[in-house]
Structure 1
């Protein structure tokens, strides 16, 4: 900046005003300063400027998996809100590892981010208490945190959405409905199972353990569970899948089973082909509309936007009590769940 001032023949304060778009510099002088800046290739040191202000103009975002389309939508929404506040976003994936989540969060804190948005992988967040006490703002998204500081939380209404999806299948005549969910240790998986059970109970249908399979969303596990259920003496006539990855894995199982009957042919046991079950999935996903898959759609963009807006309210000085926001889901019927058993 001293070189720019010397080249333009002005005081250092004048250069500072031009660089920071402050008033008090006449047009001719400002043009002379800008010409010197361009000639010398000067760039403002935003890091030093923000540190002097006590802020770094950055936030950290910890999600489960940056490759997951759900979290891609959430991340983009956080970035859009942050950009509107002239903030940068540092993003990392926990891979459902509490240790990796903790390491990422503390790494962001060590780099002096002003705030954090966290999709929690673990159930113990006491490690975050000293950071919050030191002034870092934090918001938890998609899942509530475990033990630790009280913060704002933004969730989707998982149980009601799951219940609506299962009730939709019941309304189309299904009485044997299987549930394929994520690991039971995950909050969203627990809530979606709860909604499934509520729908069965409200319809007077029994809950059968053999029609429920929960675990990792890898193809091999889903393949084994779907094939086991469909080859049983009393197979389910409908499946409710607990997230987008489960739905896609289930569709791959359907495609691999050459023994499915054409529409209208019932499963008769023995060597006869089985009927493809109805399907409703939790989470919309790319190409679901073309594949005509009925889903319970969340709003990942709304989730990310709401979490980011709450965070920036805190960064702007809002010191009110912690808030818990629950966003609604919606049923999108496209055909895969709108067929009755044997239709």
Structure 2
């Protein structure tokens, strides 16, 4: 650093400001320092920086399933936000296993990450409380933490589902099925609540055979999607409560003998290429990631507000599948 300062004709503090992205340096001085850094091949000593500041400039992200397309934009947004703050992102997948989620969170804390962003798989997050109290900033995203008070960034699952089902009702449907994730998953219960609210708003009953919750495995979803349009009270429309469910339902309905309307929660890449295009309630995964990262770095900067619940809106995208008229 002394060599960089001597070549640029500045003091050590100025070099430190440039290297750490701190204010108080003119553009011309910053350019001279950067040129000296390039010529001398200077690299910041992050080990010394950790000892001095007590920070590792790393952030941990625990996702539910890295293979789920929903988490790609969220992961990228968190990575870009961390990079903008000079931090490295370390991520892992809980594989929808609460025990693995806890192990990952504690392992990241043991590696002294400055903060954690977690997509919860379980419903009890008291385990990392000592680390949170010790200063590890933590934000939950997509679902709230269980049994502790913590920052959370969510999409409006209830309102989005209510709007999607109301769209089917407005199209003349009176028998509408719901296929969702497992009951212990917060988003699944919120979307089911939105479905029931829309049906109640319209004065419509909900038969037990019209609701199916469980694993999003194709076998389970396929069985539900085949049975609902059959039997004594067949549905004329289906609300699919996440993108993996929607993809399976599309395949089943395409092979059906009569058209069934479909609205899905979560957009997915081929949705607008199918015929008809799939009508969806879209949530902005990247916006969730950005909002969670912003909240995390607010806390790392010393802000100590009370835990907040930040809820982002969804939007209905009509493409054709949700506009199919009921077959009488």
Q: Which has the larger radius of gyration?
A: 1
CA distance in 2, matches of 1:288, 1:136: 39
Q: 1:296 aligns with which of 281, 284, 305?
A: 281
Structure 1 match to 2:48: 48
CA deviation vs aligned residue, 1:210-250 (integer Å, no higher than 9, x gap): 01111111111111111122232332100000001100011
Q: Deviations over 1:52-77 (max 9, x none)?
A: 21111111111111121111111111
- Give me the whole-angstrom Cα distance separating, in 2, the residues matched to 1:116 and 1:281: 30
Quote the residue 2:22 is aligned against.
none
In 1, Cα distance between equivalents of 2:242 and 2:128: 29
Q: Kindly indicate whether the alpha-carbon contact (under 8 Å) linking 1:60 and 1:113 is maintained by their aligned counterparts in 2.
A: yes
Q: Does residue 315 in structure 1 map to residue 300 in structure 2? A: yes
1:10-39 deviations in Å (ceiling 9; x for gaps): 9xx97897577478xx99x9799758834x
TM superposition shift of 1:334 = 0.7
Match of 1:326 among 292, 311, 314: 311
The match for 2:291 is 306
Residue number in structure 2 paired with 1:94: 94
Which residue does the alignment assign to 1:276? 259
RMSD, matched Cα:
2.7
Q: 2:259–2:327: 8 Å Cα contact kept in structure 1?
A: no
TM-score by length of 2: 0.88
For residues 109-163 of structure 1, give each alpha carbon's deviation from its aligned partner in whole angstroms, at most 9, with x where no partner exists: 0110111111111111111110011111111111011113x22111111111101
Aligned 8 A contact 1:15 1:33 in 2 = no
Equivalence for 2:69: 69
Please give the alpha-carbon distance, in whole angstroms, between the structure 2 residues aligned to 1:168 and 1:32.
Answer: 59
Q: Which structure 2 segments of 5+ residues have no match?
A: 20-24
Question: The residue matched to 1:287 in structure 2 has which SS?
Answer: helix
Whole-Å separation in 2 of the counterparts to 1:97 and 1:76: 23
Contact 1:96 1:121 in 2 (8 A): yes
160-169 or 74-83, which deviates more: 74-83
State the distance in 2 between where 1:35 and 1:175 align.
68
SS class of match (1:275)? coil
User: In structure 2, what is the Cα distance between the partners aligned to 1:234 and 1:137?
Assistant: 51
Question: 1:30/1:315 Cα in 2 relative to 1: closer, same or farther (>3 Å)?
Answer: closer
| Corresponding position of 1:104 | 104
The equivalent of 1:181 in structure 2 is 180
Q: 1:211 to 1:144 in 2, by over 3 A?
A: same
Q: Could you say which residue in structure 1 is the equivalent of 2:113? A: 113
Does the 8 Å CA contact 2:253/2:260 hold for their aligned counterparts? no
User: Residue 70 of structure 2: SS of its match in structure 1?
Assistant: helix
1:59 corresponds to which residue? 59
Q: Which runs of 5+ in 1 are unaligned?
A: 261-273
Q: Aligned partners of 2:124 and 2:78: how far apart in 1? A: 24
Match of 1:191 in 2: 190
- Asked if residue 220 in structure 1 is aligned to residue 219 in structure 2, the reply is yes
What residue number does 2:235 align with?
236
TM alignment of 1:124-273, pairs within 5 A: 124-148=124-148, 150-255=149-254, 257=255, 260=256
Counterpart-to-counterpart distance in 2, 1:324 and 1:111: 28
Question: Is 2:327 the partner of 1:339?
Answer: no
CA–CA separation in structure 1 for the residues paired with 2:13 and 2:298: 29
Q: 1:219 to 1:35 in 2, by over 3 A?
A: closer
Q: 1:20 to 1:252 in 2, by over 3 A?
A: same
* Residues 310, 15 of structure 1: alpha-carbon distance in 2 compared, 3 angstrom cutoff: closer
